Structure formats: C-alpha cells, structure tokens
Amino acid sequence: MRFVFMGTPQYAAIILQRLIISGKIPSLVVTQPDRPAGRHRQLASPPVKAVAQAANLPIIQPEKITAEVRERLVLEQSDLFVISAFGKILRPTVLSIPRLGCLNTHASLLPAYRGAAPINWALIKGESQTGVTIMLLDEGIDTGPILASRALPIDPADDAHTLLFKLAEAGGALLLETMERYFAGEIKPMPQPTEGASYAPMLTKEDGLIDWSRPARDIVNRVRGANPWPGAYTFWQGKTIKILAAETAQAAGTPGTVVVAKKEFIVAARDSAVRLLQLQSEGKKVLDAESFLNGVRIQVGDHLGAS
C-alpha cells in the first residue's frame, strides 16, 4: 500500500507516529509551512514535520496546492492520501489523484461537529461522548462517506488538550484497521446521515470570553473547550485574567460577582457559581486559586466581566 500523509497539528502528528510505529510508512509527508510563534515570533515547525523529520521521511510544505505541487503528488503514484487536520481544503483535482481516494481521520462522530474544531465544540456544548470517524473526502466540509467510526466517552475532567490526545490515539488505531480493510475491499463506504449534522468552526479569541450570565455548567464547559487555545478569560478592573480550570460550586449572587475570595475563588453565575481552580494574570505564570489571590487584591463583591 503506497500512500501520502497530509497533516499539520499535534493531533495529526500523533496519528502519523502511530502509523510509523506500526510499519505504515508514507512515501511523502505534506504539511503546512513553518509559522512565527511565541512572544518573539520565531519560526516554529508544525508537529507533523517534527515526526516526519525524526523518521527521515520526505517532506514538502506548500503554502498553496499549486499546479507544481499537484504534479509532485501525481508522481507519488499513491493508492491513498491519508489526511488528518491538514488545514487546507483540497480541490477535486487533488482528491482525484490517489487510486482509492483520500481517507480523513476526523475527531468527531460524523455528521456531528463537522469542521475545524470538533474537539473544542464538543466540550463547550457539554457532550458526554464523542469519537473518531474515518471517512472519504469529497468536495464538502467533512461530508464524505463513512468507512468506520468509534465512540469515546468524555471524562468530566477532560479539556481540549487531554481529549485531543485520547482522540488522536483512538483515531490512529482505527485508521490502521480501516486502511487494511479498505485496501482489501472489505469496507463499503456509507453515506453520512443527514440527521444530527452540526458544524464546529475554528475558534477565535472572542470564543474564550466568559459570559457570567450563563449557567455555571456552561461556563465550566467553555473553560474546558477553550484550553489551551484561545484560553478562557475574563476581566477585572481592566486587566485580563485567564482561567485554565474551573468547576461548578454552590453559591448565589449577581452573575460575575466574586462571592468567595479567600483560599477559594468563587464567582456567581446565572444559576449557581463557578469555582476557579487555575488562573493566570497577564504575563505571569499559572497559579492555583489560593496563590493567585495572594498576589492580587480581588475582594468579595468585586465584579468580573467585559473590559
């Protein structure tokens, strides 16, 4: 079986590593270009590139899928393109290159949470279960026929970071099984059901802003879904406070009002309250609630909210 792997972030890197360890070696790895990152905006390689380099695999990093890039892909004479969070829409002229099509490992139980951020939105929406789907790509956004899927429970302690690793491991295992069976002609692709379709767009910085007028459970779920990026945050006296972990608490007050600020940090929501567990001030390190309160002058009765 000859295949090209296309992917970019950590989720895809874990899947690529699983393929390599299992002896499934792509003839070529396609990932996005190095990008500026961090406070000093230094160029950083995508995680997939690091895995491919460690395995001494050929790599290309096109900004766009140009005619020259397409010709390079044609020369691979692939049975399959294996795609995972590549980050670019592939046109029909690319989708048609491999003999058996393009397999995509998507981090949701399709047709739920099609799009760029299925892990984040499953958490934000308070789902108790998600999963991975192996599908054939078509011209739509995650609308192609399904080859296999596997459900995975969401632990109440999961955030987007921990759930990503669980889904990537599950996706890599399911991909290995599916590739073999699909290549052998043992799987018939099934059209996606129309019922239950939803969309999970890429998050923006604004998606991390906490609305204290929401129910406490919704706020906690947003904290989980926004960690590590864009990060949940609120404002106090014009300063940004990032919230990395939280849980519901039993307390009452006007939404956004601090109701406990000694050892514990509890803020009222619409129906009850939210206990803030890990926090970070601008330019500071992450602290637990007690340590954070020791360094700021937040008091009971103070209000958190929009700047």
Model confidence over 176-217: pLDDT tens digits?
Answer: 999 999 999 999 999 999 899 999 999 999 999 999 999 999
pLDDT of residue 42: 82
Distance CA 163, CA 275 (A): 22
Going edge to edge, which strands form the sheet with 146-153? 59-60, 28-30, 3-7, 80-84, 102-106, 129-136, 146-153
The total of other beta-carbon atoms located within 10 Å of residue 251's CB is 18
* Residue ranges for the chain with pLDDT beneath 50: none
Q: What architecture (CATH level 2) is domain 3-183?
A: 3-Layer(aba) Sandwich (3.40)
Q: Which of 199, 186, 32 is nearest to 116 (CA)?
A: 199
Distance CA 145, CA 110 (A): 10
Distance CA 64, CA 90 (A): 10
pLDDT of residue 307: 64
pLDDT of residue 84: 97
Ranges for all domains in the chain classified under CATH 3.10.25.10: 205-295
Question: Do 8 and 48 form a contact (C-beta atoms < 8 A)?
Answer: yes
pLDDT of residue 37: 79
Ranges for all domains in the chain classified under CATH 3.40.50.170: 3-183
pTM listed for this prediction: 0.95
Q: Which residues pair with 245 in a beta bridge?
A: 278
* Fold type of domain 205-295: Methionyl-tRNA Fmet Formyltransferase; Chain A, domain 2 (3.10.25)
CA 47, 175, 136, 76: dihedral to nearest 10 degrees? 60
pLDDT of residue 285: 95
pLDDT of residue 36: 87
Distance CA 248, CA 66 (A): 50
